[in-house]
Every structure is written in C-alpha cells, then in structure tokens.
Structure 1
Amino acid sequence: MVVTDVSRQIFVNGRFIGRPVTGVERFATMVLKEIDARAAREPLLRWEILAPAGVARPDWLDNLSFRNVGRLSGHPWEQTELFWSSRSGTLVNLCNSGPVLCGRQLAVIHDALVYRHPENFSRSYGTIHRLLGRLLARRAHLATVSEFSRRELSGLLGVDPATIAIVPNGVDHVAAIEPDPSVLDRFNLAGRRFFLFVGSPAPNKNLARAVRSFLALDRSDVSFVIVGSAAATFARSDLGTLPATVVATGRLTDGQVLALYRSALALVFPSLYEGFGIPPLEAMSVGCPVLASDIPPVREICADAALYFDPRNEGAMADAMRRCADGAFDADALRAAGHLRTNAFSWAASADRLIEALQPLAAPGRIPVSSP
C-alpha cells in the first residue's frame, strides 16, 4: 500500500456526483470508495470532497469529509467556487476538467477523444473541453488511464509523457454486483443465444458497423443485444427496419447488465477509438468471451484475452461473430485468458497509483508549470 504525504489537505472535485454513471463516473466513484475505505485505517488521510450546492453526500461515502460549497453549478462552479474553496490545499480532479486558475492540482484526462473525434460532441462542449485540456496541461499535473492515452495526450498537448501519470481503471467492482436475471425474460432472451454490445451511440463506438456485420450473418438462431442509450438512437437509425433479432434495451441496472454478460455468447466491442475500455474487462471477469477491435488501447487492456477484428472491416467483424456462434474457436481458452487478464486491474492498485501521482504535489512550494 502507498502511504501519502499528509502535509497538505487534499480536496476532491465532486462535480461528478449524481451524474449518470458512464466510464468516467465509474472511475471516480470506485477510486474514491477505495480511498474512503483506507481513511478508516489511516486517520491522517485528509481528503475532503467538495460538491456544488444541492448535491447530496453519496451513500457510498463513509469516512472522507464531504462539503457543499458555493451557489453555482457546472463549469462556473468549478472555475470559481471550487477553485476558491480548495486554494489552501491540493485539488484532485478525476473527470476530465478542473479550475484552470488552480496552481496545485492533479487532473485526470481519460482520453483524447475530444481532439481526435470532435464530431462526437456539440460545438460548445468540444470547444470548452479542448480549451480546458490545453490550459490544464500548462497549469496542472496530469494523469490518464492507459499508456495509449498518455501518448495521445503528450503529443496533442505538448507535455512530456514522463510527467503524465497512469491511473488505470479496475474491474473488481463487478464482484459486488448481484446479477438480475429477470432482464432475460423481460427481453425474451431466456434460452436464446445472443451477442452483447454495451455502450453509447457515439460515432467512435462503431455500433452501426457492428449491427450491419451481425445482419450480414442472416441468422435467426442468434440475437444482437444493445445495452445503453444507443437504444433510442437505433429506434430512428438509417439501417431501416431492424429484425426481431436486434434487441435494444436502453439503460439497465448494473445487475441486469451483469446477467447479460453471464448469458451472452460474447461481448462485441467494435470501437474505433478508446482511452481504456471497461466493458471488455467486466465481461472477462464473469467468463464472457470478448470479440474486440484490433486497435492499440484495446490490445493494451485485453492483451491475448480477446478475439480481434479490424473494426472498419464489416466482413472481418461478421466472421468473428460467425466463428463464435459456430463454436469455431476455443472459447474456454479465451475465458481462461480473460480471468487471468482481469487480475491485473484492481481499484486498490488504481488508488495506489493515484496517491503516487499526488506525491510531487504533497510538499509545500510552487509546482512546476508545463511549457506551452
């Protein structure tokens, strides 16, 4: 276990609390839950979560301090009231943003998607977050979740990669989830074989190609299940009338998603761009084989525990699904490799890496500012 220097109060940007849970919010919550558990054993671990007015103390927080500050919300709160309230210590930002005036802070930027795929975002969101990233690169110590994202951010923001810490995601949160198999009856999946997609309809997720690849199989004995906000998008997609074998569930509870992982033939993870990729690890942790894009960040996370395909080649994607449906690959070997791979990712290790990343900020004095 890494023990932090407690010579300075650590504040945490709690703006993410209460938002819908995506990968970024999952990361922030699980790392803080681990820090919170340690605070019971280390009374000198002085962390306080600061949140906007009206945000309730989360029920998973037992030991760390929590305080509502200011009257604003969103970016105005973060850039002014959060900055003012945290000025006496070190600020930790876990979700891609932070107050640019703060001279002693760590900012976790999860990926370079806002630079590489600006079409994923509204003009205002993209403009704000690209500017925030460039300013934080000059004002803050940076961290990210993978070696791939470190290389991306280093090149795009002009920061020495050696100064960007890596704090990866974990996967052991899955063990605490109670599966809810009622979801299988709800969507008429009980006893059926199906592929599973978990994610958003964002262009980088490549969902349309995955659906077209599945439809090219022209099979009635296998379904393709889409979990997430992608459901509404596909209800009005340009793919035409989708057959009953394509099932869009909308957002589900963690327990329902876990039940689908456990019953699926495989998770299909067709992304064109990722900073990390939590769904493949979640699937592996419960023995669900993974069919995944052959792109660097996914290779970094999954290693030899996935069956890879070219995400821009619909024929290759369809062939991977066909092989899986026909049992034409060693699924047991892939499951075994997946279980071994998940051992490399724990939230305890992530908390250790976060605390290590804070060490340069622990001692009094001015922190170095990156070159423009």
Structure 2
Amino acid sequence: MKVLFDHQAFTGLPYGGVSRYFFELMRSFAKWPEIEFDLSLRLSNNEYLEQESFSNHLRYRRLSGSRNINRLASLLNRMYSQQRIQAGKFDVFHPTYYHRYFLDAIDTKPLVITFHDAASERYGDLYPELGKGLYDVKKELLRRADCIISVSEYSKQEILRYFPVNPEKIKVIHLGTRLHKQSVGKVPMSRPIPMPYLLYVGKRELYKNFDSFFRAIQPVLQRYPDLHLVCAGGGSFSQQEYNSFYAARLADRVLYRPATDENLLALYQHARAFVFPSMNEGFGLPILEAFGNECPVVASNCSSLPEVGADAALYFDPENDASMAHAIERIVTDDALCADLRQKGTERLRDFSCDKTARQTLDVYQSLV
C-alpha cells in the first residue's frame, strides 16, 4: 500500500507541531515493509527533514526570510503536488494541512484528514489572524474525507461542535514524541543556564495566554530572586514584551532560546518545571516532551491538557492569576511534589509513542483500501 503526503506543512516554516507530526509518521513508516509513502515536496527549509529527508527537495536558506519567496515556494510546491496527485500512483492521500487545491484531481481516491484543533473556529472572531476564513475550506475537506483523524477526544468534540460531521468518520489517535532523554543516550545534557528557571515553550500570542501568565508569576519571581523564566521558540521577544519585562523590573530574568531539539532537551531536563498556560490546545505535545525529560508539568486545566497529562501534572485555572501563581509557587517550593510529578510523568509517557500513533494511522489507511 502506498500513501501520498503533500507539501503544505513543510513549506515556509522551519519548525512546527504539524510538520513534526507528519515527519514522525514518516519516520515510523520508513521502518515497516507493509507501507510505502511519498512526500510531494520541491522546496523546503523544514528542520526536521534535515534529520532524515523523505523527499528530494531543495533548501533556500538565504532567501527564507522573504515572504514573497516563501509564497513562490508554496506555489511551486502546490504545482508539483498536483502533478503527483494527477499521476495517481498512490492508494491513500493524506494532505498535511487545509487547502482544497487537490479536490478536483483526487477523484475517488481515499482521503484522510488530520484535525489538530479548532482554534480558528473558537477564536476566529477575536483573532482573525488565526485563519477565520478557513472554516468553509475545513468544512468541505471534512465532508469529503473518508476518515478524519482527531489528535484527542477534546478535538473530536470540537469537530462535532463546529462542523456537520458524522461521528463515525472520526478516529481519535493520540500523538507521541521522540524528544526524550533516551534519544541522546545516558549522558545528561549540560545545564543551559546556571540559575533555577521555569520553562515556557512555543508561541506566546493570542490564546497561548503568555501575557496573563507573566503577569501572574511576577509576585513569585519577586519572592524568589534566583528564579528565572526561559522562553523557548515562538520567535524573539517583541518590543512590547521587552517593555513589559522592564516595567516589572524583571528584564534580566526572562530569557529567550531557539527551540532546536538540542536546546529543548537540555532546557526540559534542567528546568524546575515546564509551565503550559494555554487556553486551547488540540493535544499539547510539549507535555509529553516534558514527561520524556523528567520535567514536572504545571498546566491549564482546560481543553486537551488534562486528557494528555492526567494525574501526572499540576493544574491551574488559566483565567485566574491567583490560581496560576499558587500552582507555580507550589512547584517552586515543594521538592516532594516535583519528585512525584517526575515519576508520574515517566509512567504516563508509556501510554504514548510515535510508533503507536503511526500503527493506528496505518490501520486507518488499510481500512480504506
């Protein structure tokens, strides 16, 4: 059986949860004789593909900062994908994001759509930049799909809330991670900064709730002058963020680090805790990354996060500053609690793996052929 993945998630951005998801699927499939796959891609700067490339694409590092160049790359990739789809040399098509360009060409071939979250539907009116106009495209794709993979039970309920979809078409398949201590052997990663710190990972805008989180922890940082906050990924700090840090007299204690795998491994392993204050996550992969590196997790008590973290995380109300501050102060001061969460996180991680995700996804493909 042969599956065709397209270019969408691998165009424009070097990192991202969606491209990582598809990269890990392909990495598992590459080990198994019962499935073949192709990735229709011509131009990409995706960093995951640098580890193990599944296409003969070209990189354009020097020009990657140009929006026009990225648009051109997207157009050329789409034309190439259309050619591969029209050739028809596959049994199942699994696009990597939401675009209808392939619908006329795919004919009756089985179509699988992975639904990650309903952020654009839930927050589209408040934050149009999330892709408010995606609704009609998603609706059409979900109607045409032979199977919809949802990354969590929470996301399944979001699909049913916003779209007219038959629940029997939806298959919940949890994600996994390979970003854990065992991936670098028994030698621990060196400490990235000498001071104790809390770790925040990923984007900080909109419903990610970083501004509220920083406001809530300011009293905690004031009470513990050695404690720092490290933000990994999500882009460098904006001038507005710098102004906020300076106004709180904490500018020298809020640090930024790029979210490379090497950086994340070291940051998770030495953090006092990973804090996830997001208001909405389809799955919340960083929770598993923290579990895999024996890092205590403090997270919002909403969306999919309790589904993923279960009893292995400490939760707070992301809309209540006092609740956030109380949970974070507990993790800063209670060594026994941290040890307990590390142990529970290691145990919880056993329920998730990239190979398990890929095996269940392969079952979906085989059921359609």
TM range (shorter): 0.7 to 0.9
Given that 2:208 and 2:278 are in contact with CA atoms closer than 8 Å, whether structure 1 keeps it comes out as yes
Please say if 1:212 is aligned against 2:215: yes
TM-score, length basis structure 1? 0.82
Residue in 2 that maps onto 1:161: 167
Structure-1 separation of matches of 2:241 and 2:93: 43
Alignment of 1:1-372 (within 5 A): 6=1, 9-17=2-10, 19-38=13-32, 42=33, 45-52=35-42, 58-61=49-52, 66=55, 73-74=73-74, 77-78=77-78, 81-87=80-86, 88=88, 89=90, 90-97=92-99, 99-101=102-104, 102-103=106-107, 104=109, 105-118=111-124, 119-122=126-129, 125-127=131-133, 129-140=134-145, 141-174=147-180, 175-177=182-184, 184=192, 189-190=193-194, 192-217=195-220, 218-219=222-223, 220-233=225-238, 236=241, 239=244, 241=246, 242=248, 243-244=250-251, 246-327=253-334, 330-362=337-369
Tell me, in whole angstroms, the C-alpha distance in 2 between the residues paired with 1:168 and 1:316.
Answer: 28
| Higher mean C-alpha displacement, 304-313 vs 247-256 | 247-256
- Asked if the contact 1:154/1:161 (under 8 Å) is kept, the reply is yes
Unaligned runs of 5+ residues in structure 1 are 1-5, 363-372
| Inter-partner Cα distance in structure 2 for 1:161 and 1:121 | 28
Counterpart residue number, 2:68: none
CA distance in 2, matches of 1:331, 1:54: 41
Question: SS at 1:232's partner residue?
Answer: coil
Pick which of 82-91 and 108-117 moved more.
82-91
Q: Distance in 1 between matches of 2:188 and 2:99?
A: 35
Q: Which amino acid aligns with 1:207?
A: F
Contact 2:236–2:256, Cα closer than 8 Å, also in 1: yes
CA deviation map 1:71-119 (0-9, x unaligned): 97436854x6524422423211234445333343111121111111224
Is the contact between residue 40 and residue 77 of structure 2 (CA under 8 Å) also seen in structure 1?
no
| Greater fraction helix | 2
TM-aligned CA deviation for residue 138 of structure 1: 1.5
Q: Over aligned residue pairs, what C-alpha RMSD do you find?
A: 2.9
1:263: Cα distance to partner? 1.0
Within 2, Cα distance between the matches of 1:240 and 1:286? 29
* Distance verdict in 2 for CA 1:265–1:249, change over 3 Å: same
Identity %: 25
How far apart in 1 are the matches of 2:239 and 2:269? 24
Question: How far has the Cα of 1:288 moved from its partner?
Answer: 0.7
Pairwise CA distance, 1:354: 1.1
Number of aligned residues: 340
Question: Does the CA-based 8 Å contact 1:323-1:329 persist in structure 2?
Answer: no
Give the Cα separation in 2 of the matches to 1:54 and 1:304.
Answer: 39
CA contact (8 A) 1:181 1:256 kept: no
User: Which runs of 5 or more structure 2 residues have no equivalent in the other structure?
Assistant: 59-70
The residue aligned with 2:63 is: none
State the alpha-carbon separation in 1 of the partners of residues 27 and 99 from structure 2: 20
> 1:330 aligns to what SS in structure 2?
helix
C-alpha distance in 1, partners of 2:349/2:142? 31
> Which of 330-339 and 46-55 deviates more?
46-55
Which 4+ runs in 1 deviate beyond 6 A?
A: 54-57
Distance change >3 Å, CA 329–CA 183, structure 1 → 2:
closer
Preserved contact between residue 242 and residue 251 of structure 2 (Cα < 8 Å): no
The structure showing larger relative contact order (alpha-carbon pairs under 8 Å, at least 6 residues apart) is 1
SS in 1 for 2:244: coil
- Partner Cα separation in structure 2 for residue 67 and residue 12 of structure 1: 14
Q: Which residue identity lines up with residue 256 of structure 2 in the other structure?
A: T
Quickly say closer, same or farther: Cα 1:213–1:50, change in 2 above 3 A.
Answer: same
